[in-house]
């Protein structure tokens, strides 16, 4: 806990949404209203860290000293502060990033030690939605993002759940529903039939030869997509029993898809669970593309013990 005189201005928070394709950096005193923001393509680690540091030095010159840093990174990453390699990116196909000690290198580039909170990008987005978005005030939240991959985060009474590492909800195993459509697409190199392999954006594109946004709303692609995603929602319901399932990411935005998922989940649930009405149980996030950076700013605030 950092103590400040009551009359002082609120602390300046710094945050990074460290994606595999782009980095977003921001500073704020109120996480929901960034004062300054920048985004650039993710390069090699050294170059990327140098750009981050340059932005924060510039932001600091304008808005004063930075008090803490929140990071939501692409994974896998070592989130456990007790681990010797805490703050490191683990084995990743992303060139140059495997075992890169991101937190240590950022502190070095910023020229000082400061309180840091380190999470996955998906967990950061889940936290952003929980504090300022569609999951505000909800006790138990399962957040899924369906886009280039499928990821997920779980919040219990406002706290992110980590498990031994972090949830990999995209790799829940699902039955093969492709066969009924004369298809057999899956894009995960590790599993025969997982959610990400069957229902991510690249799976849709490979299966139907067109990206999701090019497929009309009445295309059979969406019936199949809804069936896979409803299975993911059903498995999360069985394993975790949330109050709310939030479906983020580009694919979820497809017009009519969420209604199809709700109908299919209702059918699959078979009356076994006492679930809220589907329109309240399965929802779209409300912060859109800002969820990750807002969540990373929330992490920075929490790193101060606030
Ligand atoms: Zn998989």
Q: For 126-165, what is each residue's pLDDT tens digit?
A: 999 999 999 999 999 999 999 999 999 999 999 999 988 8
**What CA–CA distances, in Å, run from 224 to 6, 124, 264?**
56, 29, 10
244, β-bridge pairs: 141
Q: 145 with 115, same domain?
A: no
Residue 271 domain-assigned? yes
Residue 5 domain-assigned? no
Say what percent of the chain tops pLDDT 90: 90
pLDDT of the residue at 306:
74
Does position 176 have pLDDT exceeding 80, yes or no?
yes
The CA 83 to ligand 1 mean position distance, Å, reads 26
Q: 32 with 153, same domain?
A: no
Residue 128 domain-assigned? no
CATH number at residue 68: 3.30.420.40
Q: 281 with 296, same domain?
A: no
Q: 64 with 100, same domain?
A: yes
Q: 149 with 272, same domain?
A: yes
Query: Hey, what long-range contacts does 97-102 have (CB within 8 A, 24 or more apart)?
Result: 97/45, 100/45, 102/18, 102/45, 102/49, 102/71, 102/73, 102/77
Does position 81 have pLDDT exceeding 60, yes or no?
yes
Residue 177 domain-assigned? yes
pLDDT band at 166 (very low <50, low <70, confident <90, very high): confident
The CA 171 to ligand 1 mean position distance, Å, reads 4
Q: 274 with 158, same domain?
A: yes
Residue 7 domain-assigned? no
Q: 297 with 246, same domain?
A: no
Q: 298 with 281, same domain?
A: no
Residue 148 domain-assigned? yes
Residue 112 domain-assigned? yes
Strand order in the sheet with 12-18: 36-41, 22-28, 12-18, 66-73, 116-120
Range of the domain at 108: 12-122+289-303
The CA 186 to ligand 1 mean position distance, Å, reads 9
Residues 26-58: tens digit of each pLDDT: 999 999 999 999 999 999 999 999 999 999 999
**What CA–CA distances, in Å, run from 214 to 29, 162, 217?**
40, 36, 9
Chain centre distance of CA 10? 27
Q: 91 with 165, same domain?
A: no
The CA 5 to ligand 1 mean position distance, Å, reads 50
- Mean pLDDT across 197-224: 97
pLDDT of the residue at 262:
98
pLDDT band at 1 (very low <50, low <70, confident <90, very high): very low
Q: 161 with 273, same domain?
A: yes
Does position 79 have pLDDT exceeding 50, yes or no?
yes
Q: 267 with 227, same domain?
A: yes
Q: Is 64 helix (H, G, I), strand (E, B) or coil?
A: coil
The total number of structural domains that make up the chain: 2
Q: 195 with 141, same domain?
A: yes
Residue 167 domain-assigned? yes
Distance, first Cα to last Cα, the chain: 8
Residues 198, 230 contacting (CB under 8 angstroms) = no
The C-alpha atoms of residue 174 and residue 210 are separated, in whole angstroms, by 23
The CA 176 to ligand 1 mean position distance, Å, reads 13
The CA 203 to ligand 1 mean position distance, Å, reads 12
pLDDT of the residue at 163:
87
């Amino acid at each position: 806990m950092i103590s400040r005189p009551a009359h002082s201005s609120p602390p300046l928070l710094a945050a990074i949404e460290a994606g595999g394709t782009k980095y977003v950096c921001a500073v704020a005193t109120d996480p929901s209203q960034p004062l300054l923001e920048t985004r650039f393509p993710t390069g090699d680690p050294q170059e990327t860290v140098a750009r981050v540091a340059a932005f924060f030095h510039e932001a600091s010159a304008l808005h004063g000293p930075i008090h803490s840093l929140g990071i939501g990174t692409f994974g896998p990453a070592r989130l456990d502060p007790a681990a010797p390699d805490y703050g490191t990116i683990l084995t990743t196909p992303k060139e140059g990033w495997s075992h890169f000690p991101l937190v240590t290198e950022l502190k070095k580039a910023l020229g000082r030690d400061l309180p840091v909170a380190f999470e996955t990008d998906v967990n950061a987005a889940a936290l952003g939605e929980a504090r300022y978005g569609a999951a505000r005030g909800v006790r138990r939240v399962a957040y899924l993002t369906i886009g280039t991959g499928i990821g997920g985060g779980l919040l219990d009474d406002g706290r992110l759940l980590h498990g031994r590492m972090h949830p990999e909800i995209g790799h829940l195993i699902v039955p093969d529903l492709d066969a009924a459509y004369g298809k057999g697409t899956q894009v995960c190199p590790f599993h025969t039939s997982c959610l990400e392999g069957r229902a991510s954006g690249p799976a849709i594109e490979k299966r139907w030869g067109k990206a999701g946004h090019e497929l009309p709303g009445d295309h059979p692609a969406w019936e199949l997509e809804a069936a896979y995603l409803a299975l993911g929602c059903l498995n999360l319901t069985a394993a975790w029993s949330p109050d709310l399932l939030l479906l983020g990411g580009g694919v979820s935005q497809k017009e009519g898809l969420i209604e199809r998922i709700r109908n299919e989940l209702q059918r699959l649930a078979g009356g076994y669970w006492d679930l809220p009405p589907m329109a309240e149980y399965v929802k779209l996030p409300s912060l859109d593309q800002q969820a990750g950076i807002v969540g990373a700013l929330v992490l920075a605030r929490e790193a101060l013990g606030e």
